[in-house]
Amino acid sequence: MKNDDAAWIVARQRHRLSDAHVQMARELGMNPKRLGKKDNHDQEPWKLPLPEFVEHLYLKRFGRERPEAVVSVEARARLRARAKEAKRVAKAARREAAAAEAGAGVFRIRDLTRSDERPAAQLLVDLLPEGWPSAADAKREVRAALERGRIRRAAFLGKELIGWIGGVDAYPGHVVELHPLVVRSDQQRRGVGRALVADLETQVRARGATTILVGSDDDHGQTSLAGIDLYPDPLARLATLEDVGGHPFRFYLKCGFVVVGVVPDANGFGKPDILLAKRVLPV
């Protein structure tokens, strides 16, 4: 029972009110402990008797004589308790289902929102520190991803954010740049990255764009293009591209991307950016 249920039960008895009058008085915001002042028709006969006074105010305020449905204080308390219990059971069931899914490694993908800002930024700092050396840089990137027009999707295991992907209009109406993509270290190689890319493809198609472009930097000598001068013929060098240290370009190849170019020295001498693209809608 709510705190004032008991007070209304006492008031009902003391002032000989019907359930309807109690409900009307409640809806009018009256205080059950202060009805005595209003219920002194015997001493102050010019005042209306309390039930009539309540009816008078009710009509004035709500434009009708009585509530459409009268529910006693006790029945209302029972209904409230039942609704509360149902809510509790549903919440427990949801929590249990989420825990079971997380235990089974099932992840879900949904839009990244403002409330995911902190873990999303943390993933950038942890996984791509050369791009986002500080928490402040990473936060700025997440905020930019949350801006209108961007695509931002995130994977969750239970309630935990385990990866996210962004999409930026690079050539509006045609090409979306994948930027960024991160999957938490302990969740890598379980299909999360591939699922995020597939989800991005769906979003890009829905916009009517045909192509996803990604630039995958080689800052750590992970490919055969690192540490050398790609000039005078970068494309000849690119034709011999090989993975020498677990560079993510092979992940993108697995996702159906093809290598379309290279930006020599993108991050300093010998640190190229390898460009890959995937057509996701017929042109």
The residue among 32 and 180 lying less far from ligand COA, judged by its C-beta, is 180
Residue of 116, 210, 222 whose CA lies nearest to 165? 116
Give the one residue of 24, 181, 238, 277 binding ligand COA; rule: CB under 6 A. 181
Residue of 158, 153, 181, 21 whose CA lies nearest to 97? 158
182 binds ligand COA (CB under 6 A): yes
Give the one residue of 56, 64, 84, 254 binding ligand COA; rule: CB under 6 A. 254
What is the per-residue binding string for ligand COA in 85-124, x denoting contact by CB under 6 A?
----------------------------------------
The whole-angstrom separation of Cα 22 and Cα 16 is: 10
**Going by C-beta distance under 8 Å and a sequence separation of 6 or more, which residues neighbour residue 102?**
157, 158, 160
Q: Are 210 and 279 in contact (CB under 8 A)?
A: yes
Give the one residue of 70, 127, 170, 198 binding ligand COA; rule: CB under 6 A. 127
DSSP class of 165: E
Q: Are 256 and 280 in contact (CB under 8 A)?
A: no
Q: Least separation, in Å, of the C-beta of 100 and ligand COA? A: 22
Burial of 64-78, coded b for 16+ CB within 10 Å and e otherwise, reads: eeeeeeeebbeebbe
Give the one residue of 190, 224, 226, 260 binding ligand COA; rule: CB under 6 A. 190
Size of the site for ligand COA (CB under 6 A): 19
The whole-angstrom separation of Cα 151 and Cα 140 is: 16
Six token digits for residue 93: 């069931």
The residue among 67 and 131 lying less far from ligand COA, judged by its C-beta, is 131
What is the per-residue binding string for ligand COA in 197-236, x denoting contact by CB under 6 A?
-----------------x-x--------------------
First-to-final CA distance of the chain: 65
Q: Least separation, in Å, of the C-beta of 162 and ligand COA? A: 9
Radius of gyration of the chain (CA): 33
Give the one residue of 18, 72, 188, 224 binding ligand COA; rule: CB under 6 A. 188
Q: Are 230 and 264 in contact (CB under 8 A)?
A: yes
Give the one residue of 102, 128, 241, 259 binding ligand COA; rule: CB under 6 A. 128
57 binds ligand COA (CB under 6 A): no
Q: Least separation, in Å, of the C-beta of 241 and ligand COA? A: 13
Q: Least separation, in Å, of the C-beta of 29 and ligand COA? A: 57
The residue among 105 and 246 lying less far from ligand COA, judged by its C-beta, is 246
Q: Are strands 258-263 and 211-217 parallel, antiparallel or unpaired?
A: unpaired
Compute how many other C-beta atoms are within 10 angstroms of the C-beta atom of residue 195.
18
Residues near ligand COA, by CB under 6 A:
127-128, 181-183, 188-194, 214, 216, 246, 248, 250-251, 254
